[in-house]
Homo-oligomer: A and B are copies of this chain.
Amino acid sequence: MATPLPNTLYLGSFVHSKTLTELEYLHDTAIAVDATGTIVAIEPLTPSTPTALPARLGWAPSPATTTIIRAKPGSQFFFPGFVDTHLHAPQYPNVGLFGASSLLDWLNTYTFPLEASLSDPAKARPVYARVIRKTLAHGTTTAAYYATVDVGSTNLLADLCLAAGQRALVGRVCMDSDLSPAYYRDEGPEEAVAATLASIAHIDRIDPGGGLVRPVLTPRFAPSCTPALLKGLGELAAQRPDVPIQTHISENVGEVALVREMFPEQESYAGVYDAFGLLTGRTILAHAVHLTEGEAELVARRGAKVSHCPCSNSAITSGAARVRWLLEKGVVCGLGTDMSGGYSASVLEAARQAVLVSRHVSLVESEGEGAKLSVEEVLYLATRGGAKVVGLEERVGAFEVGREWDAQLVGLGVVDGEGGLSEGGTDGEEGGVDVFGWESWEEKVAKWVFNGDDRNTRRVWVRGRLVHERK
């Protein structure tokens, strides 16, 4: 990042996940973020804070050199930036387009043609620029992206993330089996590994420390990879223990049957990844809708993580993932928008749908009431849980000294006596959330989860840098 950051004090109300089931509400609080974008102090706000705290931190001698950002009392709060643990950047133009399809026909009808076409950078640039801008506007400070098979297109996505200041995992998609059409696949396993290495080398070069953008090994999913490719990627994973892995698992019953047929020597779908050294503590598994007991236990044992994608699972009729069951098995879970299997760029929408889908799960007799996910739980998945899924649990996902300032300022509309808004902007910019003044903070947050949209996300920071601001 070119411009150095100012030391900054954030003042007001802060809300973040303390545990899976508990949000912490810090009111009248000050958080100090230094020029590296790191949280260096969290303490109660007093009248002397704006001068005393910078002095105590040894920041510049004059308080004027400290930037101060306040959340409006009652209607605004700081919240950790969202972590989108699974999405396909090139598919963004297809959001909402899926008809009555399910996974395998959806890939051939909607997805492969679009992804293939983005090897043209003139077509890819506006798509990627738009998806980054859109996800940032929705408060996504970290995104685990699948790019395409094309190295140039993948590298372009990494470049654009870095330029926009979005924290990202960027993966070149590996797929060499004839499940994929001849016009859109790797030529063979060796070519696939070489192309992957080329993309990793590019990302290592543009962001050497991986402070913002990192590569990720991305076998699309077992059926689109030959055993030789899975083997090659497993060896690469062993050579580069710093590089995470992402793939799909057990999204759809037809896909599960296909894996059984293609890999008859393996006991299960999870077993395929495990056999090739790809089921690890740094593996992100999208979906996990139809895992068996044994598979869930294997996933937990290996410490692999799950990206729950409720919008996608409902839209393309994959099923309803049993998140409570996964959590109880000890599997770490986060949320993914899975655009464009999922129809929305918003992790908040994924959180909302995670609540709703969990109600459908709870209606299944064997699951029951306990399956319901609360507002607190889905917000945990969207932030602290997601940070664990992408291996950034020490850096983002919560407000703690030593973590980096990846955050959003959320603002709600305050209704006046005539049904207009006394706060929260004009009619054109009010967002979906109306507060009448008598709500508790827990209620304000629930209202935000169910009716919030990008208008409520007023500003977004990554590593202390302002990366989005509503006009």
Contact = CB atoms under 8 A, between A and B. Distances in A.
Contacts of A314: 356, 359-360
A364 to B, nearest CB: 10
A93 to B, nearest CB: 5
Contacts of A131: 419
A47 interface: no
Interface stretch (A183-191, A323-331, A386-394, A425-433): A425-433
Which one of A137, A420, A426, A446 has the highest number of Cβ atoms from chain B below 10 Å of its Cβ? Answer: A446
Interface string A423-463: 00011110010101011000100111111011000000000
Given A362-B317, A415-B130, A471 B426 contact: yes
A128 to B, nearest CB: 7
Interface stretch (A22-30, A36-44, A96-104, A258-266): A96-104
A369 interface: yes
Contacts of A130: 415, 419, 434
Given A126-B415, A360-B360, A418-B129, A372 B450 contact: no
B418 A126 contact: yes
Interface in A98-128: 99-100, 122, 125-128
Given A360-B320, A429-B428, A374 B99 contact: yes
A158 interface: no
A416 interface: yes
A179 interface: no
A133 interface: yes
B443 A97 contact: yes
A95 interface: yes
A257 interface: no
A436 B126 contact: yes
A343 interface: yes
A319 interface: yes
Contacts of A355: 315
A363 interface: yes
A460 B459 CA distance: 30
A324 to B, nearest CB: 12
A132 B418 CA distance: 11
A439 B92 CA distance: 13
A470 B428 CA distance: 6
Given A93-B436, A95-B447, A428 B134 contact: no
B359 A417 contact: no
Contact of A450 (B343, B417, B432): B343
A255 to B, nearest CB: 15
Contacts of A372: 100, 317
Nearest to A117: B438
A344 interface: yes
A204 B113 CA distance: 59
A118 B125 CA distance: 53
Given A317-B362, A320-B360, A359-B315, A129 B96 contact: no
B447 A432 contact: no
Contacts of A96: 446-451
Given A97-B447, A451-B95, A471-B428, A134 B434 contact: yes
B432 A453 contact: yes
Contacts of A315: 355-356, 359, 450
12 contacts: A96-B448, A100-B374, A127-B436, A129-B419, A134-B434, A314-B359, A315-B355, A317-B362, A319-B363, A344-B432, A353-B356, A428-B470
Interface of A: 92-93, 95-97, 99-100, 122, 125-134, 137, 314-317, 319-320, 343-345, 352-353, 355-356, 359-360, 362-363, 369, 372, 374, 415-420, 426-429, 432, 434, 436, 438-439, 443, 446-451, 453-454, 470-471
Given A95-B450, A125-B419, 17 more contacts: A93-B439, A95-B434, A96-B447, A99-B374, A100-B369, A122-B417, A126-B419, A129-B418, A129-B420, A130-B415, A133-B419, A317-B359, A317-B372, A360-B360, A428-B428, A428-B429, A432-B453
